[in-house]
Amino acid sequence: MAITVLAMIQMLAGCGGGGAQKTINDRAGTRITMPRKTERIISTAPSNTEIIIDLGLAERLIAVDTYSAELAGLRGELVLIDFAYPDAEVIIGLEPDLIIAAGHNQMASGEDPFKLIKETGIAVVYIPTSTGVDGIYEDIRFIAEVLQAGGRGDELIGQLKEGIDAIAKTGASVSPRKSVYFEISPFPYMVTCGQETYLNQMIEIIGAENIFAAEKGWFSPSAEAVIERNPDVILTLVDFTDVPLEEIKNRDGFAVINAVKNNEVYAIDANSASRPSPRILPALRQMARAVYPDIYEEGF
């Protein structure tokens, strides 16, 4: 494979998917030379794929990561690539104009999985996980701009902002506020969110308080820390274990938590909540109705 890839690099180096158009900073702050055209796109994360679909540009996709495979709106014949270990030979052979990658693509190896591909001149732009809702707006705007569909991006941002602002207006008047523990991964490897994450901001938007708002980023809390903070409500994205809600309720020591005592433990759609894209809105509505069913009506 190495010899084949090396030959491709020598053949394609300097081509850059159609020649340089301009130089921009991607969402990670890296300077990128953009191709003249962006008709053949590879998306390596479902959040980015969802944005591309919602912009009405799914027909430009020639390959997506395996997690994107089941998204509605994609053509059935797309090539599937590994999320963490993309096959350079396959990708180079597809001759993409642009690869839209995510920060999570680097997590498995800790290195840039597209380094070899960049050496052929293929443009790769990175979109790290947004730290807040405004970052998601900027992700949409950036992808729309690099795909030369700026007007569609503004329209999509407007639709998302309208829905979020309506919830935020109600959330701002909530009193008293309930405390929430948001579980992303279950015991024994529990993961939750603190400040500087879009999920923390979503909790605030509905008028609730994250019990770990004093922490930063995505991290692993101890069970004792959750018990000590005694949340009024527990929300979970876990959908890959048997009876996840019952597992939380029956967890050692959790019986004293108000959320468990009052049966306020709810599942939130993992696909919607875990992907920073326009599709966070259904998760936000679901969170609002779960935490404050008397305030947010079913059709909100």
Task: Kindly report, residue by residue over 62-89, the tens digit of the pLDDT.
Answer: 999 999 999 999 988 899 999 888 899 9
Quick check: do 2-128 and 175-291 share a fold? yes
Cis omega (within 30 of 0) for bond into 231: no
Q: What is the pLDDT of residue 139?
A: 97
Q: Give the pLDDT of residue 110.
A: 64
Which backbone phi and psi does 294 adopt, to 5 degrees?
-80, -15
Determine the pLDDT at residue 79.
96
CATH code, residues 2-128 = 3.40.50.1980
Distances (CA, A) of 128 to 14, 65, 95: 27, 16, 24
Reported pTM: 0.88
Give residues with Cβ within 8 angstroms of 158, minimum separation 6: none
Phi and psi at 63, nearest 5°, equal -160, 150
Domain limits, the chain: 2-128, 175-291
* DSSP line for 75-96: -TT-EEE-SSS--HHHHHHT--
Among candidates 123, 115, 126, which has minimal Cα distance to 97?
Answer: 123
* Structure-block tokens of residue 108: 């498995």
CA distances from 162 to 130, 137, 165, 207 (A): 19, 12, 5, 17
Tell me if 114 sits within 8 A of 124, measured CB to CB. yes
Pairing of strands 192-193, 218-219: antiparallel
Residue among 152, 149, 151 nearest 98 (CA): 149
Nearest-angstrom CA–CA distance, 212 and 215? 6
**What token pair was written down for 116?**
């070899």
Which token pair is 7? 């030959």
Confidence (pLDDT) at 21: 63
Q: What is the pLDDT along the chain (300 residues), one digit of tens a residue?
A: 444 444 444 444 444 444 446 899 999 999 999 999 999 999 999 999 999 999 999 999 999 999 999 999 998 889 999 988 889 999 999 999 999 999 877 655 567 888 889 999 999 999 999 999 999 999 999 999 999 997 999 999 999 999 999 999 999 999 999 999 999 999 999 999 999 999 999 999 999 999 999 999 999 999 999 999 999 999 999 988 889 999 999 999 999 999 999 999 999 999 999 999 999 999 999 999 999 999 997 656
Question: What was the pLDDT predicted at 40?
Answer: 97
For 175-291, CATH gives: 3.40.50.1980
What pLDDT is attached to residue 107?
57
| DSSP helix, strand, coil percent of the chain (3-state; round to 5) | 40, 20, 40
Tell me what pLDDT residue 77 has: 86
Reported as type and span, the H/E element at residue 127 is strand 123-127
